[in-house]
């Protein structure tokens, strides 16, 4: 089955630092998604990417859809304490199987 490898597993950073995380897949997706989960809640969509090579921003967040369609990257600039949470990548073949598959997550801790 499809597997998403997300790294790093966890990050401990100081407020103001930039963060990078990535996700690779054993198979191709036509849509990459990045979600954030806060304690006791379900994941919430941050950014959606629809085309290989696409670079999309949402405030301090920037994500890229890899050229091979098997990877994606998320960057957070100038981190703040409320960025704390678990970030998940997810792959989707929209219009195909519609199976939405998630990576294992990157747990982010921001020290003020």
Q: Which residues bind another protein (CB under 8 A)?
A: 1, 6, 31, 33, 40-45, 48, 50, 88, 90, 92, 94, 97-105, 107
Minimum CB–partner distance for residue 59 and another protein (Å): 17
Minimum CB–partner distance for residue 45 and another protein (Å): 5
Q: Which is nearer to another protein, 97 or 109 (CB)?
A: 97
Q: Which is nearer to another protein, 70 or 107 (CB)?
A: 107
- CA dist., res. 99 & res. 85, Å (int): 24
Q: Which is nearer to another protein, 7 or 77 (CB)?
A: 7
**Nearest to residue 85, comparing CAs of 61, 60, 110, 111?**
110
């Amino acid at each position: 089955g499809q597997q998403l490898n997300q790294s790093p597993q966890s990050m401990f950073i100081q407020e103001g630092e930039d963060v990078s995380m990535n996700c690779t897949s054993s198979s191709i997706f036509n849509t990459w998604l990045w979600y954030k989960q806060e304690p006791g809640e379900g994941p919430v969509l941050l950014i959606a990417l629809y085309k290989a090579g696409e670079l999309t921003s949402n405030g301090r967040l920037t994500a890229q859809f890899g050229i091979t369609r098997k990877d994606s990257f998320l960057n957070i600039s100038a981190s703040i304490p409320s960025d704390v949470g678990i970030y998940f990548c997810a792959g989707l073949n929209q219009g195909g199987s519609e199976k939405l598959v998630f990576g294992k997550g990157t747990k982010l801790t921001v020290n003020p």
